[in-house]
Chain A
Amino acid sequence: MVRRTVRGLTAWAGDHPPPGPFRRTWWRSPLRGPWLTAVLGSVLLVGIPVVIVTGLVSYLAYEPELPGNDKTPGKGLLGFYLAGWTTEPRWLYRLTQGVHVLLGLALVPVVLAKLWSVLPRLFVWPPVRSPAQLVERLTLLLLVGGILFEIVTGVTNIQNWYVWGFSFYTAHLYGGWVMIGAFAAHVAVKLPVMLRTLRARPLRAELRTDLAHTEPEPPDEDGLAPVAPGPPTISRRGALAVVGGGSLLVLATSVGQSIDPLRWTALMAPRGRTGDGGPNDFPVNKTAEYRGITADQVAAGVWRLELVDGDQRVELSRDELLAMEQHTYELPISCVEGWSTSQTWTGVRLRDLARLVGVPDPGPARVTSLQQGGAFGAASFSADQVLNPASLLALRVNGADLSLDHGFPARVIVPAAPGVYCTKWVGQVDFRLGASA
């Protein structure tokens, strides 16, 4: 009896939607329909996993498992794959993080178009028809909320606009996992529908259809296609071209941030600089002034590098470091924000410094900066990273002394390490990290 009443009420409510967007006649665009949604969905089905994987790789590259590095002590099972980071190939982090940020940016217009294509679903009436629909709508809130959250935190972070009340590093990671769960469920539920829809309407035929021949898709049970379509003002291929053009425009005005000869083309991306062309003319993560470093602190006769191994301590001036065997490598420095640059660094090998303080066979080491504040004033490296011949305490770049903004008197450069770990204004290197841990 009760059940029949509920069913009767639901049926009645379904037939009497409130006015406005809850009525299917409100949605007029003749382009909306399962096919358009499926095409946009198939692009995201390829693109989003690449952004997810490169993002998870970045977390791996930060080596949270080394003592002192972990900003996410609560990670629990989410750190299941952490197993150290590599130093080869040297351009690996440059590639993965460049792809993460650039592809993430380029997918924004696709995400927006996809959301536009399914917008009538938000106002579906009655809002809940079955338990399945209720849980699906809740996972969609996690999915859409998660994707928008990742886009907003990522896009504002690369512009140094810190508007949220929490750490970007942790929020982008955990927010990402919330999205991953919902994304996987959405794919599992919708993949068969997507494939069926794509097969029913060949892409090639649709790409040959001009405005004059553009027909609305027939009304579908999901309510994506309009029941009362207006006249088309753009063809479906035209709409897809606009979305793709948006992605290309975003890429064209940002990709230079990761490719040195094209840096001048990064018109909209942060740090798309064209400076004086000197040896120190490449992007700076944080300036010396911002990190409270003064010229007095690092002046000759004041600054000393401290090497530590337990009770053993050795202090070196910059001249003494310059008197050691110097090595030169061309190595990229790649920021989590996506920009990167390859420069020629000259300095002392980290493993030679270890030998100086009586550690012939170094394990993990921790490098500490003189800088004030900031979450990355120190970084721990694995034994593999310390032992790599190209891992340097760099004193010079492109044949000139490091500028103060680039870490004078000395900075670390480790192949394939995230840029923020290439600590500037180094004050101390502790080679006893492995023993104390």
Chain B
Amino acid sequence: VSRLRRWYGAGPLHALATVVAALVSGYALTRFGTDAPWVDLGLWFVGSVVLHDLVLAPLYALADRSLLAVLRHRRPATGAAAPAVPVVNHLRVPALLSGLLLLLWAPLVLRLTEGYEPITGEPVEVYLPRWLGISAVLFAGSAVVYALRLRRAARRRRS
């Protein structure tokens, strides 16, 4: 058993769990009922993983690194001292939240969904201004909090 375990690389519970998973998942795939369920569902599965892991994640990581680089290099150029409160999260947080809403509701915001208006009888054009409005409130709110924190830091330094 210990040789088997060394060859496999994990314990029997691990093997049992993955076998059960494979059985349930494989059975569901065969039940899908299209001619080529492996292709129909498999493409979407792999496609969504690739889209997330190799497109979306690198994009937001790149955006974040760029933001950090810009903030770092701007300082010597303007000759200013490091701000008492770092600004980075006051940009990151509203950008992330606004991006999250866009990611979820892009079909409505960007009017990709042609079906929405004829199906529901409701206007789709309200969603872009609503998303912009919520984003504006998020950024403005973040700026106000930043200003308050700066003032508090300045007061603390004076006293």
A interface residues (Cβ-Cβ under 8 A, vs B): 72-78, 105, 108-109, 112, 115-116, 119, 122, 129-133, 135-136, 138-139, 141-142, 144-146, 148-149, 152, 155-156, 159-162, 164-166, 170-171, 174-182, 184-186, 188-189, 233-234, 238, 242, 245-246, 249-250, 253, 267-268, 270-271, 273, 283-287, 289-290, 405
Q: Distance in Å from the Cβ of B25 to the closest Cβ of chain A?
A: 4
Q: Distance in Å from the Cβ of B72 to the closest Cβ of chain A?
A: 11
Interface assignment of B24: CB less than 8 Å from any CB of chain A: yes
Tell me the dominant secondary structure on chain A's binding face.
helix
Is B48 a contact partner of A152 (Cβ separation < 8 A)?
A: yes
Is B116 a contact partner of A159 (Cβ separation < 8 A)?
A: yes
Enumerate the 8 nearest inter-chain pairs by beta-carbon distance, A residue then B residue, closest first. A130-B9, A181-B24, A145-B45, A185-B21, A177-B28, A132-B9, A132-B10, A148-B48
Is A250 a contact partner of B100 (Cβ separation < 8 A)?
A: yes
Known: A149-B44, A185-B18, A284-B121. 16 other contacts (CB 8 A): A115-B52, A141-B46, A145-B45, A156-B107, A159-B113, A160-B107, A174-B32, A175-B44, A177-B24, A186-B21, A233-B89, A242-B92, A246-B100, A249-B101, A267-B134, A271-B122
Bound complex: CA A179 to CA B28 (Å): 9
Is B113 a contact partner of A178 (Cβ separation < 8 A)?
A: no
Is B48 a contact partner of A145 (Cβ separation < 8 A)?
A: yes
Chain B residues near A108 (CB-CB < 8 A): 100, 103-104
Tell me which of A188, A238, A250 contacts B104 (CB under 8 A). A250
What residue of chain B has the Cβ atom nearest to residue A152's Cβ?
B48
Of B33-41, B73-81, B148-156, which stretch is located at the interface? B33-41
Q: Distance in Å from the Cβ of B84 to the closest Cβ of chain A?
A: 13
What residue of chain B has the Cβ atom nearest to residue A286's Cβ?
B119
Is A149 a contact partner of B101 (Cβ separation < 8 A)?
A: no
Chain A residues near B33 (CB-CB < 8 A): 72-74, 170
Q: Distance in Å from the Cβ of B63 to the closest Cβ of chain A?
A: 13
Bound complex: CA A164 to CA B48 (Å): 13
Is A149 a contact partner of B48 (Cβ separation < 8 A)?
A: yes
Interface assignment of B68: CB less than 8 Å from any CB of chain A: yes
Chain B residues near A185 (CB-CB < 8 A): 17-18, 20-21
Interface assignment of B127: CB less than 8 Å from any CB of chain A: yes
Bound complex: CA A245 to CA B99 (Å): 13
Bound complex: CA A246 to CA B101 (Å): 9
Is A119 a contact partner of B93 (Cβ separation < 8 A)?
A: no
Bound complex: CA A131 to CA B15 (Å): 10
Bound complex: CA A182 to CA B45 (Å): 13
Is A174 a contact partner of B97 (Cβ separation < 8 A)?
A: no
Tell me which of B7, B22, B105 contacts A139 (CB under 8 A). B22
Tell me which of B49, B68, B112, B115 contacts A148 (CB under 8 A). B49
What residue of chain B has the Cβ atom nearest to residue A77's Cβ?
B27
Bound complex: CA A109 to CA B97 (Å): 9
Task: Answer whether A188 and B45 are a contact pair too, CB < 8 Å, given A142-B21, A233-B86.
Answer: no
Is B24 a contact partner of A184 (Cβ separation < 8 A)?
A: yes
* Contact sample, A vs B, 27 pairs, CB 8 Å cutoff: A77-B27, A130-B7, A135-B15, A136-B14, A142-B25, A144-B49, A144-B53, A146-B45, A148-B45, A148-B49, A148-B51, A161-B107, A171-B41, A174-B29, A184-B17, A184-B24, A185-B18, A189-B18, A233-B86, A234-B89, A234-B92, A242-B92, A250-B101, A253-B101, A268-B127, A289-B118, A290-B121
Tell me which of A234, A268, A271, A290 contacts B134 (CB under 8 A). A268
Q: Distance in Å from the Cβ of B106 to the closest Cβ of chain A?
A: 9
Chain A residues near B7 (CB-CB < 8 A): 130-131
Is A245 a contact partner of B120 (Cβ separation < 8 A)?
A: no
